[in-house]
Chains A and B, each alone.
Chain A
């Protein structure tokens, strides 16, 4: 079940990047970078596991997936400050131990960027490939 969840998330990533690639018709995707909050309910290993499968036969085939995990940040009213939590087992301020309910970071599930190799240089004016670069 969890696997299905990550697969559908990865499929959304592939769809979004593919759409953005329309602006770069000859590009090859090298890497896709995600930002995933610690409270996003996503297992990073499962995302990576699904990546090869979900990118197969798409312009993203062969690309790397890089996932950056973001810690939970709460706003502590007592300290009047944003504080980073060490885990997701207790929503208390690590400085003053007061409960915090004002979440500022941790639910992110974003595509940060993707890296492309511009294929334009490898093609001649007729649009034919001159050679494949290693």
Chain B
């Protein structure tokens, strides 16, 4: 005899439950958490370096968790900003999940969620897998560099559609790259109508003021 057992549950139920718990902890601590997602080489680390430095200079309390398959190179780079930074090595796993965040928040010496204004999570460089895993973040940021091709949002609609903000990086070399700005903005808007878009250069600092103003605004709302 065969029978059907209805389960009707999310495959990533465990991750989603953990993420809900994290979201409640972030809210209780009054910290705005951002999950930065992009391809490898977009310049997430450089963008985060600049963001951490500028926020610190403005007196904000910031910290970062940084995900990579291997090495702690990024954590060492980011630590130069003076902010507490902790590396998460996934050892082959292509995304961060809520359990990794939970585990790395525990026993992070000198870092309490309640003592932070902003916590940045730099995801593993990948435009596909991180979009399925909720980390409890308040804002998911999709980054795209001018060297990548204006159709990236169309190729990876899941990520861009689930993002709260989009950041275009390396704007200082847009011209020599032949970057078609209008087309890129149109493509992002086609996938995620009305999303906030920031055109930035981590090298020159262009666009950082608008980005930092957005963070402050969102922190008042969500933090």
| A interface, CB within 8 angstroms of B | 1-2, 4-5, 8-9, 12-13, 16-17, 20, 24, 30, 34, 39-42, 88-92, 99-101, 103, 107, 109-118, 121
Whether the Cβ atoms of B9 and A117 lie closer than 8 Å is no
Whether the Cβ atoms of A116 and B5 lie closer than 8 Å is yes
Q: Which of A2, A13, A110 is within 8 Å of B129, CB to CB? A: A2
Most buried by A among B7, B132, B159, B161: B7
Whether the Cβ atoms of B5 and A2 lie closer than 8 Å is no
A20 to B9, CA, bound (A): 11
Listed A/B pairs (17) with beta-carbon separation below 8 Å: A5-B94, A8-B93, A9-B132, A12-B11, A20-B5, A39-B158, A40-B158, A41-B129, A88-B191, A91-B191, A91-B192, A109-B11, A110-B11, A112-B7, A113-B8, A118-B2, A118-B3
Interface of A is mostly: mixed
A108 to B131, CA, bound (A): 12
- B residues in contact with A4, CB < 8 Å: 92-94, 129
Which positions 121-165 of chain B face chain A at CB distance < 8 Å? Answer: 126, 128-129, 131-132, 154, 157-159, 161-162
Whether the Cβ atoms of B1 and A118 lie closer than 8 Å is yes
| B110 proximal to A (CB < 8 A) | no
Instruction: List the B residue with the shortest CB-CB distance to A109.
Output: B11
Whether the Cβ atoms of A34 and B11 lie closer than 8 Å is yes
Q: Which of B2, B14, B189 is within 8 Å of A30, CB to CB? A: B2
- A residues in contact with B3, CB < 8 Å: 115-116, 118
